[in-house]
Structure 1
Amino acid sequence: MSMLELRDVHAYYGAIHALRGVSLRVEPGEIVTLIGSNGAGKSTTLKAICGQVKTEGDIRFGGRSIASQPPHVTAREGVAHVPEGRRIFPRLSVKENLEMGAFSVKDKKLIQERIERAFDYFPRLKERYHQAGGTMSGGEQQMLAIARALMMNPKLLLLDEPSMGLAPVIVEQIFAIIRDLNAAGMTILLVEQNAFQALQIASRGYVIQTGRVILEDDAKMLLASSQVKEAYLA
Structure 2
Amino acid sequence: MSLLQLNKVEAFYGGIQALRGIDITVHQGEIVTLIGSNGAGKSTTLKSICGQVQTKGEILFEGKNITSWQPHQIAMAGIAHVPEGRRIFPRLTVKENLEMGAFSVKDKKQVKQRIEQAFVYFPRLKERYHQAGGTMSGGEQQMLAIARALMMNPDILLLDEPSMGLAPVLVDQIFDIIQELNAAGMTILLVEQNAYHALKIAHRGYVIQTGEIVMQDYADVLLSSNEVQEAYLA
- Do Structure 1 and Structure 2 share a fold, with TM-score over 0.5? yes
| Corresponding residue of 2:100 | 100
Question: Residues of 1 paired with 2:187 and 2:42: CA distance?
Answer: 18
Name the residue aligned to 1:160: 160
Look up the match of 1:188: 188
Q: Percent identity?
A: 74
2:116 equivalent to 1:116: yes
Runs of 4+ in 1 over 3 A off after TM superposition: none
Residues in 1 aligned to 2:184 and 2:40: alpha-carbon distance in whole angstroms: 31
Could you tell me how far 1:69 is from its partner in structure 2? 1.0
- Alpha-carbon distance in structure 2 between the residues aligned to 1:109 and 1:207: 42
Kindly report the root-mean-square deviation, in angstroms, between the aligned alpha carbons of the 2 structures: 0.3
Give the alignment's TM-score, normalised by structure 1: 1.00
Deviation readout 1:127-156 (Å, 9 max, x if unpaired): 000000000000000000000000000000
CA distance in 1, matches of 2:116, 2:56: 40
Unaligned 5+ residue runs, structure 1?
none
**TM-score with structure 2 length normalisation?**
1.00
- Counterpart residue type for residue 71 of structure 1: P
CA distance, structure 1, for counterparts of residue 69 and residue 37 of structure 2 = 28
CA offsets, 1:142-175, max 9 Å, x none?
0000000000000000000000000000000000
Show the counterpart of 2:90: 90
Give ranges in structure 2 of 5+ residues lacking alignment: none
Q: CA deviation at 1:63?
A: 0.6
The range that moved more, 114-123 or 65-74, is 65-74
1:74-121 Cα deviation digits (max 9, x unpaired): 111100000000000000000000000001000000000000000000
Q: Deviations over 1:176-200 (max 9, x none)?
A: 0000000000000000000000000
**In structure 1, C-alpha distance between the alignment counterparts of 2:126 and 2:218, rounded to whole Å:** 37
Contact 1:99 1:111 in 2 (8 A): yes
Contact 1:9 1:59 in 2 (8 A): yes
Distance of 1:13 and 1:157 partners within structure 2: 24
Q: CA deviation at 1:68?
A: 2.7
Q: How does 1:154-233 map to 2 (within 5 A)?
A: 154-233=154-233
Match of 1:135 in 2: 135
For 1:162 and 1:66, the matched residues in 2 are separated by: 25
Q: 1:54, 1:68 within 8 Å by CA — same for their partners in 2?
A: no
